[in-house]
């Protein structure tokens, strides 16, 4: 009887496994079929759009808007080489047209060559907004801020409703060191587009860096009034402003909201670690810094702060491990030598302590660190 039952169960299990295997295969086939159908549908839609814009261009070769939209669709379909061929043909057909010079430049990958074509386009069409914007961007990326400012100003005059031109002008002013002008341009960008998140983020950061923390908080709170894919960034920056104000509770709430939206936002864990460290909660600091390092093992600053947190917990072996890592990643930070020397001394590793403290005394020249240098010298005397 038991053998019969065992055979029956064995057959049922075998059939069940066979059924599961068949079901799995069918599922894989179905998912693959859905994927290819979706890709084909997207490609078909893009091909339809491409044909539509080609017809518009054929009817009116100088239709700039049709060319721009055609170019966007074509680039999505990885047709850069084809576009370059087409634009060269258009330039031969219309040698006096700045439009095709611009379109050709906007597809080129070589920035220097592209810039020369943009300048030629502007010579033929001085009021070509897009050419001024693209050329300004090239200057900005090259650190040529004065030339970028000149172009962005021109673009703003050509298109007074352009929030992007105002925002980019503000960004350039900021990097040039003209903070008040930057703030003014960011505000103008927001006036033109009340949901311009990049403008809110950079306006708030500018307030933060000039220590106008109330204005920074107000800016980020306004930004949170709009739906945006950048809310985790806004909450993080808001937390930074609160932390600098000294309102640690509000800062922690803002950081946690950022993590609710983006659980793997590693920079926020660094912020939480810094917050806990300043409050003397070294257990929480260690936990936060460890979480941050899970995704960025090669961060010298986080390794240093983690080593410092372990040092303050009097866990010197762990402290040495992370301070050595920090030193390996960036040996220009003299404080690492000091705390590594102190940790090694307390862990009974006097040779390494002597070595690192000597380097610290030799390298540290800042008057603000005179007290630490004296302590290091005293400890060296003790080790000898």
Phi, psi of 331 (to 5 degrees): -90, 10
pLDDT value at position 297? Answer: 65
Distances (CA, A) of 293 to 188, 267, 269, 286, 288: 39, 10, 9, 10, 9
Query: How many other C-beta atoms can be found within 10 angstroms of the C-beta atom of residue 219?
Result: 29
Distances (CA, A) of 166 to 70, 138, 152: 27, 16, 8
pLDDT value at position 57? Answer: 85
d(CA 42, CA 34): 12
d(CA 209, CA 320): 33
The tally of CA atoms less than 13 A away on the side-chain side of residue 224 is 19
Nearest in space to 313 (alpha carbons), one of 336, 287, 348: 287
d(CA 245, CA 211): 9
The set of residues, in sequence order, having a beta carbon less than 8 Å from that of 21 and lying 6+ positions away, is none
Q: Which of 30-39, 44-53, 189-198, 373-382 has the lowest mean pLDDT?
A: 30-39
pLDDT value at position 346? Answer: 95
Element (H, E) at 56: helix 2-59
Mean pLDDT of 291-307: 88
Query: How many other C-beta atoms can be found within 10 angstroms of the C-beta atom of residue 95?
Result: 10
Of 280 and 47, the structure prediction assigns the larger pLDDT to 280
**pLDDT classification of 145: cutoffs 50, 70, 90:** very high
pLDDT value at position 298? Answer: 80
d(CA 117, CA 102): 7
pLDDT value at position 327? Answer: 95
d(CA 314, CA 347): 10
pLDDT value at position 48? Answer: 82
pLDDT value at position 29? Answer: 52
Q: Is pLDDT at 285 greater than 80 in this prediction?
A: yes
pLDDT value at position 28? Answer: 52
d(CA 184, CA 191): 11
Q: How many residues does the chain have?
A: 384
Is-contact 267 239, C-beta < 8 A?
no
pTM of the model: 0.79
Record the tokens describing residue 143, joined without a space. Answer: 């650190």
| pLDDT tens string 60-96 | 888 888 888 888 888 888 888 998 998 899 999 999 8
d(CA 252, CA 281): 13
The set of residues, in sequence order, having a beta carbon less than 8 Å from that of 318 and lying 6+ positions away, is 307, 310
**pLDDT classification of 25: cutoffs 50, 70, 90:** low
Mean pLDDT of 5-34: 47
Return the DSSP state at 299: -
- What is the set of domains in the chain, with CATH numbers? 41-126 (1.25.40)
Record the tokens describing residue 159, joined without a space. Answer: 């298109």
d(CA 195, CA 177): 26
| pLDDT tens string 244-272 | 999 999 999 999 999 999 999 999 999 99
What's the whole-number average pLDDT of the chain? 88
Query: How many other C-beta atoms can be found within 10 angstroms of the C-beta atom of residue 207?
Result: 22
- 280: three-class secondary structure by DSSP: coil
The set of residues, in sequence order, having a beta carbon less than 8 Å from that of 264 and lying 6+ positions away, is 295
Q: Is pLDDT at 295 greater than 90 in this prediction?
A: no
Inter-helix orientation angle 282-293/266-278, to 10°: 160
- 363: three-class secondary structure by DSSP: helix
Is-contact 121 144, C-beta < 8 A?
no
pLDDT value at position 19? Answer: 45
Site of tokens 């897009």: 130
Site of tokens 């906007």: 106
Q: Is pLDDT at 43 greater than 80 in this prediction?
A: no
Record the tokens describing residue 129, joined without a space. Answer: 């907004």
Site of tokens 């060296």: 380
Share of the chain above pLDDT 70, in %: 88
Q: Is pLDDT at 362 greater than 80 in this prediction?
A: yes
| pLDDT tens string 10-24 | 444 444 445 445 555
d(CA 255, CA 75): 38
């Amino acid at each position: 009887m038991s053998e019969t039952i065992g055979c029956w169960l064995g057959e049922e299990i075998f059939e069940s496994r066979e059924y599961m295997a068949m079901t799995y295969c069918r599922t894989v086939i179905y998912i693959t079929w859905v994927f290819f159908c979706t890709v084909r549908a997207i490609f078909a839609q893009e091909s339809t759009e491409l044909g539509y814009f080609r017809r518009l261009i054929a009817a009116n070769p100088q239709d700039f808007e049709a060319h721009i939209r055609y170019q966007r669709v074509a680039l999505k379909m990885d047709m850069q080489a084809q576009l370059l061929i087409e634009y060269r043909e258009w330039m031969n057909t219309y040698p006096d047209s700045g439009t095709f010079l611009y379109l050709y430049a906007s597809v080129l990958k070589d920035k220097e060559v592209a810039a020369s074509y943009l300048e030629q386009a502007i010579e033929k069409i001085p009021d070509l907004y897009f050419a001024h914007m693209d050329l300004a961007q090239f200057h900005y990326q090259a650190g040529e801020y004065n030339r970028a400012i000149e172009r962005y100003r021109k673009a703003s005059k050509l298109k007074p409703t352009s929030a992007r031109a105002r925002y980019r002008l503000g960004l350039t002013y900021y990097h040039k060191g003209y903070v008040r002008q930057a703030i003014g341009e960011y505000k103008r960008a927001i006036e033109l587009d009340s949901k311009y998140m990049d403008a809110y983020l950079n306006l708030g950061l500018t307030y933060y860096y000039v220590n106008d923390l109330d204005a920074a908080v107000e800016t980020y709170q306004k930004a949170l009034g709009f739906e945006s894919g950048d809310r985790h960034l806004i909450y993080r920056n808001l937390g930074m402003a609160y932390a600098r104000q000294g309102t640690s509770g509000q800062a922690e709430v803002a950081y946690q909201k950022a993590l609710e939206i983006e659980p793997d936002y590693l920079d926020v864990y660094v912020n939480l670690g810094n917050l806990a460290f300043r409050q003397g909660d070294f257990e929480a600091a260690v936990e936060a810094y460890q979480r941050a390092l899970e995704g960025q093992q090669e961060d010298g600053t986080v390794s240093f702060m983690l080593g410092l947190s372990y040092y303050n917990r009097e866990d010197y072996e762990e402290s040495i491990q992370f301070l050595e890592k920090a030193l390996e990643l960036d040996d220009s930070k003299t404080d690492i030598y000091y705390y590594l020397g102190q940790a090694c001394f307390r862990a009974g590793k006097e040779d390494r302590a002597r070595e690192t403290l000597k380097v610290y005394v030799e390298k540290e020249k800042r008057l603000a660190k005179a007290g630490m240098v004296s302590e290091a010298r005293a400890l060296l005397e003790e080790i000898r």
